Amino acid sequence: MRDADDNRSNTAPAHVAIIMDGNGRWAKARGLPRTAGHKKGVDAVRRTVEAARELGIGTLTIFSFSSENWRRPEEEISDLMGLLRFYLRSEVAELHRAGIRLRVIGDRNRLSDDINRLIDNAEGLTRDNRVMTLVVALSYGSRLEIVHAARRLAEEAAAGRLSPDAIDEDALSARLYTADIPDPDLIIRTSGEKRISNFLLWQAAYAELVFVDTLWPDFTKRDLEAAIEEFHRRERRFGATTAGSR
């Protein structure tokens, strides 16, 4: 007979979020331009989406381009936007066939019109899919997201549509980009860096953090499984204590 821990260890986290890091270092180690690392990183996204679906993960969020990334050299940004266009044109039909819903979160005002149209089309096509949700954090920064949510609350209160007494955690959460997305259970960062870099700061309040040395282009299903195994070794108390703990 299986015990409760055995059953828990076979259950995938409902929401896994990944900070994809290491494309540049992967390319540098091979004497290749950074673009080559980013292209290999797209292959890793494809592998990881498929692995997440096979493992029964309900929501997978990937941090693809941060609000700070706009400070990178113009040529590199152009290459990244080109890869984004390629992904949205070449992969969305496959996501749809697999029953995967695509959601893009972030400040889309800085994206070009054609990319926004591709995003709108992809989200519309996959809106009713229920096998898994793939969330792409694009032009995303968590502090800016929280500022935007706070501004909306302030505007609604000033207009008399919202009582200041009604502003609580739920009210702010409902105005974040992720209002219709569950908070992450597990956040993985690749490449050995141990920080979350302005990613899902509000939503990650009780997430488990797992840092792996693997560079993102080399990330495989086995790496994802290992992170999930580490997740299941953790005791999640959500701020509460258990007997004998402090």
| Domain CATH number, residue 26 | 3.40.1180.10
Among this protein's residues, is 21 annotated catalytic?
yes
**22 marked among binding-site residues:** yes
Confidence of residue 237 (pLDDT cuts 50, 70, 90): confident
How far is the C-alpha of 35 from the C-alpha of 22, rounded, in Å? Answer: 12
Residue 243 included in any domain: no
Residue 44 included in any domain: yes
Cβ(23)–Cβ(217) under 8 Å? Answer: yes
Confidence of residue 236 (pLDDT cuts 50, 70, 90): confident
**216 marked among binding-site residues:** no
Residue 123 included in any domain: yes
Confidence of residue 9 (pLDDT cuts 50, 70, 90): low
For the entire predicted model, the pTM comes to 0.91
- Closest residue by Cα to residue 19 from 57, 83, 62: 62
Question: What is the number of structural domains in the chain?
Answer: 1
Cβ(38)–Cβ(53) under 8 Å? Answer: no
Arithmetic mean of pLDDT, 114-128 = 97
Q: What percent of the chain has pLDDT over 70?
A: 92
Arithmetic mean of pLDDT, 222-240 = 89
**64 marked among binding-site residues:** no
**More confident position, 107 or 9:** 107
Catalytic residue among 5, 6, 43, 69: 69
Residue 121 has pLDDT above 80, yes or no: yes
Which range marks the domain in which residue 47 is found?
A: 9-233
Q: pLDDT digit string (tens) for 50-90?
A: 999 999 999 999 999 999 999 999 999 999 999 999 999 99
Q: pLDDT digit string (tens) for 158-208?
A: 999 999 999 999 999 999 999 999 999 999 999 999 999 999 999 999 999
Residue 2 included in any domain: no
Residue 85 included in any domain: yes
Residue 1 included in any domain: no
SS (H, E, C) the chain: CCCHHHHHHCCCCCEEEEECCCHHHHHHHCCCCHHHHHHHHHHHHHHHHHHHHHHCCCEEEEEEEEHHHHHCCHHHHHHHHHHHHHHHHHCHHHHHHCCEEEEEECCHHHCCHHHHHHHHHHHHHHCCCCCEEEEEEEEECHHHHHHHHHHHHHHHHHCCCCCHHHCCHHHHHCCCCCCCCCCCCEEEECCCCCCCCCCCCCCCCCCEEEECCCCHHHCCHHHHHHHHHHHHHCCCCCCCCCCCCC
Residue 246 included in any domain: no
Residue 93 included in any domain: yes
Among this protein's residues, is 7 annotated catalytic?
no
Arithmetic mean of pLDDT, 87-109 = 96
Confidence of residue 240 (pLDDT cuts 50, 70, 90): low
All residues at 6 or more sequence positions from 25 whose CB lies less than 8 Å from its CB, including other chains = 37, 191, 215
Note the pLDDT of residue 100.
98
**72 marked among binding-site residues:** yes
- Closest residue by Cα to residue 189 from 13, 20, 15: 20
